[in-house]
Structure 1
């Protein structure tokens, strides 16, 4: 996915019921997600699968009887955060034990898949390790953990989505007007820097009928915007309602028919899978937002080849031009890695040149982090950390300037805003533009859940300020 920034924490509480025993007092659960949007989605489904067992919720980790860390392994820093958090949880577990109480700790997600039982050796306080394809077994693992460490990092033959409990309408409403929906998992690209093929497995797409059913349930409960998720989402190839294999473009077309659904997005994509029908969809599907995250990683053909990206800088530039021809108002976002093994000053300058040529609306950028088991970790000519740091700062200065310029250019424009919540002060409401920019405007709470035209009058450092257009007042 597109970022190793810590994602929004999803917190749920539950009380596991055991067969043959009386009803238990409610116990509390806290799920903390690191990494990508798919981990946020997975965290909500972990809570959902345990809801029938009688779970309730808490937002305070100190009150939890069970803590699940839903982890990311895409970069070293993300993995380090997990073990740092486990150290704090170990101390909390010791404090709870001294009080005669129990705390169970679970590690889920990609770190769990990559390190498996080694996690128990590194941190003995952990009770459960479960991979991203096996979390539907959490109720059973919680019960098994009463007798000792429990682990499941298999890639099951049976699709986990066949076993996940759907959330109630009330639960969906508590999660907001925007929702993630996983449609594809895994990756077959094997970029030399990436662990995803090893932790998430081969590319697999869900059936269209099941995706539509989940999207309809979300929309009936009040969701107005859905982001379709996949490690390589534009490689979607799910069985359609006519038993044919559907592309992502055809799926978008079908989801656009859902009444009440206002907006569609998808992330994250690979340039090589931007098929012509998907590019056309950006120009034809009114509900598909004009914002596309399309990671390129480098502007140097030599480094792209070493990364096993299977595209050149020229291919990406040509693709960006083609996408903008189909949807002139589209904004592009991307990912960049600096300091990949062997990257020279000339290679880095080629990356800066590509960024200037494309002019991105926003960008995620990272220093290369060797991941054990990936081909990149074995390459010679690892770049010195000081050089990575200097290059990251230079690249950051450029892309942040582009982001700021894009936001400033919104001033004076009238754009549709999906209002999602009350604002920071009385009489104010907040929402987001088609380009994912936060917007604050004076208006009634009755507009929350609607899309209204807003004239942007001011640009702040991280958000926009506007006033309702006359037709929206």
Structure 2
């Protein structure tokens, strides 16, 4: 089983729901300086990098895909796992070689790791010139200027209001078809294993008008799918009383009532029926039937929900401070199946070997997987994160070899379930949005079903951004394969 163990997400073959690493694309508009960004971790980080690129673009920077040519290097970091932090430290060491040759280069660490380790980064990593938390990106031009003058630039202030709603992101590495829209920032859930509330601050929701406006602008530019992002999208809430002070344009029609996530989903879905809408991530304690019925009502809201369970055992869930138990979670899954049908895609996050987890409790996670039948999952063994409630309250007492063995069993079961779920699609007809050329072959396109399953199809007289009806002919545990039977059907 050892060959199954990787401290990475187990993902669909062509595209990850949460990737580990991305670099900037090349953009040359004649600006005098070059910016290089590497992004680690979740979709929120990649979305934040697009905001950073926009801010820096307004201050004289084009982006480059070659860090050796950059005037400024930013690493937008993740603290959710120790491996991510160690990867960033290794990259800083590699950048040190270039900086010795070009001492005028500015190197900055952004995001969650900057928030958590600001003092250590400045003291231990001598090449770090700028350290900036997730809520201070507007200050980047000023901090870079300080660094160019020989001073360290630091701002890790966590805001109760910042949403960057007025900043139009620069779409980095864009395929021109799909895009992220951040709808809220921060997290009020205090899961005992998680550093996010400490690195990203409290929840605050973005003005719904600005979200809809961004979706409409993306559609007008040719994008055909948006993913609404938040640490917990189901807790999105915007009200005129609490949020009007953050309104961007008072001339816009005032929102007279509270806007919850179901309302926001509907508002974005109504931008155009040809614009697909996805969202991530949902919290089991908050996802409502109202959201599910809104998804059912609109064909362009994709029938896929990422619903992290973390553990299938109620005692462990209580230790994790997940605020739901096994039966609550299964009740939500039953509601999804009853309202949206068996074909709705469900994915999950799972942690093997959390503090004090017994073998029987591990078996509860495996049985949960059998009951839900996830389409795919992101699977890890527990890694203690300094500063979290778990690190303060519990002993990380499960030996590493047991964690790895339990994780291997979870991965093996998920691979089996993924294959079985994909086999159900063979012979069906699916509406696919072509996203671009497959990594497998220049002669093939890739796209996804409503349930977020990657499909590989032969190239023909089609192009990315087209909707096509595809008959699924074959599958693996990670990917579907099909043949196009109609291009741009009436539904699109």
TM-score, length-scaled by structure 1: 0.91
Q: Which residue of 2 aligns with 1:95?
A: 101
Change (3 A) 1:291 1:86: same
Total equivalences in the alignment: 457
Structure 1 residue runs without a partner (length 5+): 16-23
Is 1:128 aligned with 2:130? yes
CA distance in 1 between counterparts of 2:269 and 2:68 reads 43
Report the alpha carbon displacement of residue 161 of structure 1 after superposing the two structures with TM: 1.2
Q: Which residue of 2 aligns with 1:363?
A: 377
Alignment of 1:218-233 (within 5 A): 218-233=218-233
1:18-72 Cα offsets, whole Å, 9 max, x none, are: xxxxxx9722221111000010111111101111223222212222221110000
My pick for the range that moved more, 430-439 or 68-77, is 430-439
1:195-250 Cα offsets, whole Å, 9 max, x none, are: 11111111111111111111111111111100000011111002375232111111
Change (3 A) 1:182 1:167: closer
Is 1:269 aligned with 2:275? no
Q: Which residue of 2 aligns with 1:20?
A: none
The answer to whether the Cα contact below 8 Å between 1:186 and 1:203 also exists between their aligned partners in 2 is yes
Of 283, 286, 292, 1:279 maps to: 292
The answer to whether the Cα contact below 8 Å between 1:136 and 1:160 also exists between their aligned partners in 2 is no
Q: Which residue of 1 aligns with 2:465?
A: 449
Change (3 A) 1:318 1:345: same
CA distance in 2 between counterparts of 1:411 and 1:428 reads 19
The answer to whether the Cα contact below 8 Å between 1:127 and 1:150 also exists between their aligned partners in 2 is yes
Is 1:463 aligned with 2:479? yes
Q: Which residue of 2 aligns with 1:307?
A: 320
My pick for the range that moved more, 63-72 or 373-382, is 373-382
Q: Which residue of 1 aligns with 2:68?
A: 62
Of 238, 248, 251, 2:264 maps to: 251
Report the alpha carbon displacement of residue 320 of structure 1 after superposing the two structures with TM: 0.1
Report the alpha carbon displacement of residue 150 of structure 1 after superposing the two structures with TM: 0.3
Report the alpha carbon displacement of residue 441 of structure 1 after superposing the two structures with TM: 1.9
Report the alpha carbon displacement of residue 13 of structure 1 after superposing the two structures with TM: 6.1
SS in 2 for 1:386: helix
The answer to whether the Cα contact below 8 Å between 1:12 and 1:31 also exists between their aligned partners in 2 is no
Change (3 A) 1:167 1:56: same
CA distance in 2 between counterparts of 1:25 and 1:350 reads 57
Of 333, 339, 345, 2:359 maps to: 345
My pick for the range that moved more, 150-159 or 289-298, is 150-159
CA distance in 1 between counterparts of 2:339 and 2:190 reads 30
SS in 2 for 1:62: helix
Q: Which residue of 1 aligns with 2:391?
A: 377
Change (3 A) 1:364 1:158: closer
The answer to whether the Cα contact below 8 Å between 2:418 and 2:478 also exists between their aligned partners in 1 is no
CA distance in 2 between counterparts of 1:199 and 1:435 reads 31
Alignment of 1:294-333 (within 5 A): 294-328=307-341, 329-333=343-347
The answer to whether the Cα contact below 8 Å between 1:173 and 1:222 also exists between their aligned partners in 2 is no
The answer to whether the Cα contact below 8 Å between 1:14 and 1:53 also exists between their aligned partners in 2 is no
Q: Which residue of 1 aligns with 2:79?
A: 73
Is 1:30 aligned with 2:33? no
1:104-128 Cα offsets, whole Å, 9 max, x none, are: 1110000011112321112010010
CA distance in 2 between counterparts of 1:173 and 1:333 reads 25
Report the alpha carbon displacement of residue 430 of structure 1 after superposing the two structures with TM: 2.5
My pick for the range that moved more, 208-217 or 426-435, is 426-435
RMSD: 2.3
Q: Which residue of 1 aligns with 2:114?
A: 112
The answer to whether the Cα contact below 8 Å between 1:117 and 1:151 also exists between their aligned partners in 2 is no
The answer to whether the Cα contact below 8 Å between 1:249 and 1:277 also exists between their aligned partners in 2 is yes
Is 1:389 aligned with 2:404? yes
CA distance in 2 between counterparts of 1:257 and 1:53 reads 35
Change (3 A) 1:121 1:346: same
Of 411, 426, 437, 1:411 maps to: 426
CA distance in 2 between counterparts of 1:129 and 1:260 reads 42
Report the alpha carbon displacement of residue 472 of structure 1 after superposing the two structures with TM: 5.6
1:251-301 Cα offsets, whole Å, 9 max, x none, are: 011111112642111101110111221121222121111111001100111
1:75-107 Cα offsets, whole Å, 9 max, x none, are: 11111111111111112211334xxxx321110
The answer to whether the Cα contact below 8 Å between 2:296 and 2:339 also exists between their aligned partners in 1 is yes
